[in-house]
């Protein structure tokens, strides 16, 4: 396939040996589409690298050790509070989303009857399409105002949970669906109950892809801003252990507010926060994908 398409078909290359002026033009015309698409791909990767270069070249020099030990103060200072806040919010959200997301995914693939399953899958897809700012406003109405939690760790974490939930549900569902039937039937043949097979055969088999999806969702949660503005608030102090009534600082807030300040120190802080965030997200993504790849290879090997 690749050999066929890299430079025209074999038929064409055979014909090209007896080349005339006309056939050169024909060859060009036939391959100009491939040239354009290759150019599009290259410029895409170039834009991606340009964005990385932009963030890292400005952010890494600004990443001083003191950033990790001082809190923000007005327009300058460090990032200690924001880093801690982001980690607390995301950790809390990962815990909640694991319970709800794994549960829903297991139910979808193992216990649900067809009609409700279709409905819950549809609702999960719908939830994935809800803009994050709408999730934020929902959290603001329900948690900040009606429940009276004010800007808080619990409010921000629940908003992030809603953002992550569709990915985790879908990942768990798909992973359990793709467990080979023979493996499960082997369990049943040994007299195991449905739930025993689920817990001792299917779940361990599905775990790598489930965790990959959880990691990818974590990467998304790390970079979210809009759902937190309305639920977590912001504070210049270290986040407290209180679940409610205490605003939480986070990295993405630093990026979007400090870049619009007219001071070099605040810009440096914004770029440092962005570089840190990008590093966290790249590590999460690359780790998730390569880990999944190697585990999947191992599983294929074991089955062969």
Partner 1 sequence: MATVALSGAEKRRSRDAVLDIGLRYGTTAMALVTATIVFLIATFLIVYSWPAIAFNGFGILTHLEWNLGNQYGTGVEHRGGFTGSPGASFGAVVFIAGTIISSAFAMAIATPLAILVAIAMHYQVPRRLKTPVNTLVELMAGVPSVVYGLWGIGVLVPWISSSVGPFLAAHISWLSIIGSGSASGNGLLATSFILSVMVFPIMAATMRDVLSTFPKIVFEGAIGLGATPWQAVTTMVLPAIRTQMFAAAMLALGRAIGETMAVLMVCGSALNQLPQNVFAPINTIAAVIVSQLDSALTDPTGMAERSLSELALILFAITLSVNLIARVIMRGGDRVKRTA
> Measured in whole angstroms, how far is the alpha carbon of residue 37 from the centre of its chain?
27
Q: For residues 69 and 77, what is the distance between their CA atoms, to the nearest angstrom?
A: 10
At its nearest, how many Å lie between partner 1 and the CB of residue 94?
A: 15
Stretch that binds partner 1, among 63-71, 148-156, 193-201, 238-246 (CB under 8 A): 193-201
- Within positions 125 to 154, which residues make up the interface with partner 1, using CB under 8 A? 125-127, 129-135, 137-138, 141-142, 145-146
Q: For residues 4 and 294, what is the distance between their CA atoms, to the nearest angstrom?
A: 29
Q: Residue 88, exposed/middle/buried by CB under 10 A (0-12, 13-18, 19+)?
A: buried
- Within positions 248 to 277, which residues make up the interface with partner 1, using CB under 8 A? 252, 255-256, 259-260, 270-271, 274, 277
User: What Å distances lie between residue 108 and 151, 161, 253, 287, 291, CA to CA?
Assistant: 34, 19, 36, 27, 25
Q: For residues 102 and 172, what is the distance between their CA atoms, to the nearest angstrom?
A: 6
User: Is 286 a residue that touches partner 1 (CB under 8 A)?
Assistant: yes
- When binding is defined by CB under 8 A, the residue of 285, 292, 295, 299 that contacts partner 1 is 285
User: Is 124 a residue that touches partner 1 (CB under 8 A)?
Assistant: yes
Stretch that binds partner 1, among 3-11, 70-78, 87-95, 294-302 (CB under 8 A): 3-11
Nearer to partner 1, 44 or 91 (CB): 44
User: Is 100 a residue that touches partner 1 (CB under 8 A)?
Assistant: yes
User: Is 225 a residue that touches partner 1 (CB under 8 A)?
Assistant: yes
Q: For residues 76 and 202, what is the distance between their CA atoms, to the nearest angstrom?
A: 51
User: Is 199 a residue that touches partner 1 (CB under 8 A)?
Assistant: yes
């Amino acid at each position: 396939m690749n050999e066929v398409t890299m430079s025209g078909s074999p038929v064409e290359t055979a014909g090209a040996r007896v080349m005339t002026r006309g056939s050169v033009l024909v060859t060009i015309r036939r391959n100009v589409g491939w040239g354009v698409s290759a150019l599009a791909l290259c410029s895409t990767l170039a834009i991606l690298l340009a964005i990385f270069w932009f963030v890292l070249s400005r952010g890494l020099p600004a990443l001083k050790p003191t950033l990790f030990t001082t809190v923000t103060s007005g327009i300058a200072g460090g990032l200690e509070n924001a880093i801690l806040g982001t980690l607390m919010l995301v950790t809390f959200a990962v815990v909640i989303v694991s319970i709800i997301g794994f549960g829903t995914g297991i139910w979808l693939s193992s216990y649900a009857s067809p009609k409700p399953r279709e409905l819950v899958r549809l609702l999960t897809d719908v939830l994935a399409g809800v803009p994050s700012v709408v999730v934020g406003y929902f959290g603001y109405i329900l948690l900040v105002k009606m429940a009276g939690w004010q800007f808080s760790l619990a409010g921000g974490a629940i908003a992030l949970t809603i953002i992550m939930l569709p990915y985790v549900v879908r990942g768990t569902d798909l992973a359990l669906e793709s467990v080979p039937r023979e493996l499960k039937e082997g369990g049943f043949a040994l007299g195991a109950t449905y739930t025993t097979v689920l817990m001792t055969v299917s779940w361990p088999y599905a775990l790598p892809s489930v965790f990959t999806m959880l990691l990818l969702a974590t990467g998304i949660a790390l970079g979210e801003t809009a759902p937190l503005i309305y639920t977590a608030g912001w504070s210049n102090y270290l986040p407290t252990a209180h679940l409610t009534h205490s605003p939480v600082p986070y990295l993405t807030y630093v990026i979007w507010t400090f870049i619009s300040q007219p001071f070099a120190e605040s810009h440096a802080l914004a770029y440092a926060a962005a570089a840190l965030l990008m590093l966290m997200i790249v590590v999460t993504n690359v780790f998730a994908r390569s880990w999944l790849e190697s585990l999947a290879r191992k599983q294929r090997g074991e089955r062969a």
